[in-house]
């Protein structure tokens, strides 16, 4: 493995899965940020209007489905589709396994602001088993929930005859990953499996040995069902210049979004990813496997939107990035039904020893690649 390095423009690290760099040392997300400055967004909006026209049916109660958690991005997308494009979206939420009070409040406020919502609570035994398998087999603490965020929403579209699904942004394009669909608004189910489920979908389902009945909300409909519906899945962020902070402001003003009273663990922000307790563990596993945490992720976004300098970002990374969630270990062990020694053993197994060293029981970077 080549020595890890940070993007010359932002601070994203070369170990991030599927990331690429140009000759200037700019990561794919920064290249995309530059490209966005020259995109004719009127043409992109025309594509959106044509897509809406293709799927809008006079005999349907709902025009589309929007995946939401009650957070800033799904709320913003729903608000725009309803108010700017005059659609009637059915919003769909998959209940997270360790939901927080602020997450429940935000979803409730979102619904009260004028949206119809289906809240799906998939089989609890399956959720627990798939999440634990994700933790052990992939170093992915909420893998079962992530599967259902895709499969359950597609199943809801099938069962309601709704042929257009909106997710928020394409994280691969926006944040530095697979750029394959940079110029394609609509994407296939296979892209979900490869990029968002990191190629582990079939493996984890098979290892679970659960019945088809229990896995209903964790499996995609058949190719025949998808073809008969003529389903299109898209990211709203393809059609306009995506700005997470603007989404937060709009959602706070119009959808009742509230933020944490203090910065979230492992970062300096307080308004994103507040819906479940496992997210702090997820970002710690990012650090274990790739050497960067939530602060690197957040500062890279703020640099690209020109609200933070690279020097400021490095200082914030030094302060917050290697957050060790030891204070949550008891609750995590209780959720996964693991002893603390087995839980820590699993952490150690996923630590990337090429870039990390263990000091006083805590994993730290060997070298400060910046």
**What is the rounded distance in angstroms from the CA atom of residue 145 to the CA atom of residue 123?**
11
The verdict on domain 41-238 having CATH code 3.40.50 is yes
Task: Determine the average pLDDT of the residues in 303-317.
Answer: 95
**What is the rounded distance in angstroms from the CA atom of residue 332 to the CA atom of residue 267?**
20
Q: What is the pLDDT of residue 148?
A: 97
Q: Which residues pair with 234 in a beta bridge?
A: 166, 186
- Would the pLDDT of 1 be above 70? no
Give the max Cα distance, the chain. Answer: 64
Q: Name residue, tokens 């994700």.
A: 134
Q: What is the pLDDT of residue 370?
A: 67
Task: Determine the average pLDDT of the residues in 252-275.
Answer: 89
**What is the rounded distance in angstroms from the CA atom of residue 151 to the CA atom of residue 226?**
12
363 — alpha (psi -120 to 50), left (phi > 0) or beta?
Answer: beta
Contacts of residue 48, Cβ cutoff 8 Å, sequence gap at least 6: 85, 185, 238, 239
Q: What is the pLDDT of residue 60?
A: 75
pLDDT band at 262, cuts 50/70/90? confident
Q: What is the pLDDT of residue 53?
A: 95
Cα dihedral across residues 148, 153, 158, 163: positive or negative: negative
Q: Do residues 303 and 10 touch, judged by C-beta distance below 8 A? A: yes
Q: What is the pLDDT of residue 58?
A: 74
Q: Report phi then psi at 21, rounded to 5.
A: -135, 150
Torsion of CA 135, 137, 138, 142, to 10 degrees: -30
pLDDT by residue (tens digit) across 316-336? 999 999 888 888 999 999 999
Q: What is the pLDDT of residue 295?
A: 95
Q: Which residues pair with 43 in a beta bridge?
A: none
Q: What is the pLDDT of residue 273?
A: 81
Residue 277, helix vs strand vs coil: coil
- Would the pLDDT of 338 be above 70? yes
Q: What is the pLDDT of residue 107?
A: 97
The residue extents of the domains of the chain are: 41-238, 260-357
Give, for 362, the enclosing helix (H) or strand (E): strand 362-365
**What is the rounded distance in angstroms from the CA atom of residue 33 to the CA atom of residue 78?**
24
Cα dihedral across residues 279, 291, 266, 182: positive or negative: negative
pLDDT by residue (tens digit) across 185-212? 899 999 899 888 988 999 999 999 999 9
pLDDT band at 34, cuts 50/70/90? very high
**What is the rounded distance in angstroms from the CA atom of residue 307 to the CA atom of residue 268?**
14
Residue 348, helix vs strand vs coil: helix
| Burial group, residue 195, by CB count within 10 angstroms (0-12, 13-18, 19+) | buried
**What is the rounded distance in angstroms from the CA atom of residue 316 to the CA atom of residue 296?**
8
pLDDT by residue (tens digit) across 111-136? 999 999 999 999 999 999 999 999 99
């Amino acid at each position: 493995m080549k020595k890890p390095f940070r993007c010359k423009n932002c601070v994203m690290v070369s170990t991030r899965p599927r990331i690429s760099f140009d000759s200037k040392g700019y990561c794919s997300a920064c290249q995309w940020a530059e490209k966005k400055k020259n995109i004719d967004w009127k043409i992109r909006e025309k594509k959106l209007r044509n897509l809406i026209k293709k799927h809008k049916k006079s005999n349907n109660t709902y025009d589309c489905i929007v995946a939401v958690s009650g957070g800033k991005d799904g709320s913003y997308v729903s608000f725009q589709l309803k108010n700017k494009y005059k659609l009637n979206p059915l919003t769909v939420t998959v209940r997270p396994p360790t939901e927080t009070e602020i997450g429940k409040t935000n979803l409730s406020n979102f619904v009260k602001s004028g949206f119809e919502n289906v809240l799906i609570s998939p089989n609890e035994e399956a959720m627990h088993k798939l999440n634990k398998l994700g933790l052990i087999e992939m170093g992915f603490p909420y893998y079962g929930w992530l599967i259902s965020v895709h499969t359950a929403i597609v199943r809801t579209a099938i069962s309601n005859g709704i042929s257009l699904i909106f997710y928020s942004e394409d994280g691969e394009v926006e944040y530095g990953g697979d750029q394959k669909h940079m110029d394609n608004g609509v994407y296939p189910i296979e892209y979900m499996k490869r990029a968002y489920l990191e190629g582990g979908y079939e493996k984890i389902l098979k290892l679970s040995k659960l019945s088809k009945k229990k896995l209903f909300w964790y499996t995609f409909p058949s190719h025949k069902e998808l073809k008969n519906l003529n389903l299109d899945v898209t990211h709203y962020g393809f059609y306009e210049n995506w700005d997470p902070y603007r989404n937060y402001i709009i959602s706070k003003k119009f959808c009742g979004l509230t933020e944490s009273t203090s910065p979230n663990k492992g970062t300096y922000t307080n308004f994103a990813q507040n819906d479940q307790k496992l997210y702090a563990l997820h970002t710690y596993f990012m650090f274990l496997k790739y050497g960067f945490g939530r602060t690197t992720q957040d500062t890279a976004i703020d640099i690209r939107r020109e609200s933070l300098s690279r020097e400021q970002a490095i200082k914030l990374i030094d302060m917050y990035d290697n957050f060790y969630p030891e204070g949550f270990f008891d609750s995590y062990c209780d959720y996964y039904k693991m002893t603390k020694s087995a839980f820590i053993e699993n952490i150690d197994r996923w630590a990337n020893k090429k870039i990390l060293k263990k000091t006083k029981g805590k994993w730290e970077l060997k070298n400060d690649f910046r």
